Amino acid sequence: MSAVASSPPVGTRPASRSRLQRFMTSSIGLKLVMALTGVILSLFVLGHMLGNLQVFQGAKAIDEYGALLRKEPALLWTARLGLLGAVGLHIYAYIALMKKNAQARPQGYREKKLREASFASRSMTITGPLILAFIIFHILHMTTGTVHSSFEEGAVHHNLVTGLTGLVGLIYIIAMVMLSFHLWHGVWSLLLTLGLPEGRYGSLGRRFATIFTVLVTLGFVSIPLAVLTGVIK
């Protein structure tokens, strides 16, 4: 007997091209992934900022907050892994969309017109990798204590005060400024993807992105500033 290769019926797709694969390789799917992971990360940033502000209530308040987060290790690690997954998917979707855009315009434009692009949008390719590098440093600094010379497990107030002095405190402030550009454009793009009316000036999405970014940035920057100026001791 001779084996005869059978071809799939006309009009059917190969089994390897599942719905999930098609979704994750389509422009619409990638934009939705960017939007959904952006929601998760933006909410985390907001919650993280609000939690950190408890340092202004004293050592007891911020230390108890830290202890509450560590009360259920399984839940804490589930949240951490979920956030890492969201970061990974966010980066994947962004890179895949950039490749699609490059393939759609392989020769590019002779003259770039950037009048309609804000500085925040043009700097996304710079602020993104720098923020990722800062996140890695922040985990090693404030979570594991690997690069923190005076780290004490569970002593959140002590770790903040001793860890945000001098050059390190300035690095945190600079990182939060970079985050503000990335966050502002990301939130605005997210709202556009979710269907809010477009419009560069005066739109609801733009105002929300601006207010959200200003509040989050001021909240984060206030902590290293307070340590550097001696308000928090």
CA distance 193 to 29: 11
**Amino acid sitting at position 125:** T
Residue 50, pLDDT score: 94
CA distance 97 to 212: 26
Residue 77, pLDDT score: 87
Which residue, among 101, 231, 123, 110, has the nearest Cα to 183 in the 3D structure?
123
Tokens standing for residue 214: 């200003």
Question: Does residue 7 register a pLDDT over 60?
Answer: no
Model pLDDT for residues 153-194, shown as the tens digit of each residue:
989 999 999 999 999 999 999 999 988 888 887 787 777 766
DSSP string, 51-118: HHGGGGG-HHHHHHHHHHHTSSHHHHHHHHHHHHHHHHHHHHHHHHHHHHHHHHSTT--SS---TTS-
What are the boundaries of each domain within the chain? 19-103+117-228
How big is the chain, counted in residues?
233
Model pLDDT for residues 60-94, shown as the tens digit of each residue:
999 999 999 888 888 888 988 999 999 999 889 88
CA distance 159 to 143: 10
Collapsing DSSP states into helix, strand and coil, what is residue 163? helix
Specify whether the CB–CB gap between 156 and 66 falls below 8 A.
yes
Tell me the pLDDT band of 196, cut-offs 50, 70 and 90: low
User: What rounded mean pLDDT belongs to the chain?
Assistant: 82
Question: Does residue 43 register a pLDDT over 70?
Answer: yes
Residue 116, pLDDT score: 45
Tokens standing for residue 182: 């990335």
Tokens standing for residue 24: 């994750």
Averaged pLDDT for residues 33-59: 91
**Amino acid sitting at position 109:** Y
Specify whether the CB–CB gap between 96 and 30 falls below 8 A.
yes
Percent of the chain with pLDDT over 70: 80
Model pLDDT for residues 110-161, shown as the tens digit of each residue:
444 444 456 656 677 788 888 889 999 999 999 999 999 999 998 999 999 9
Tokens standing for residue 20: 């999930």
Tell me the pLDDT band of 25, cut-offs 50, 70 and 90: confident
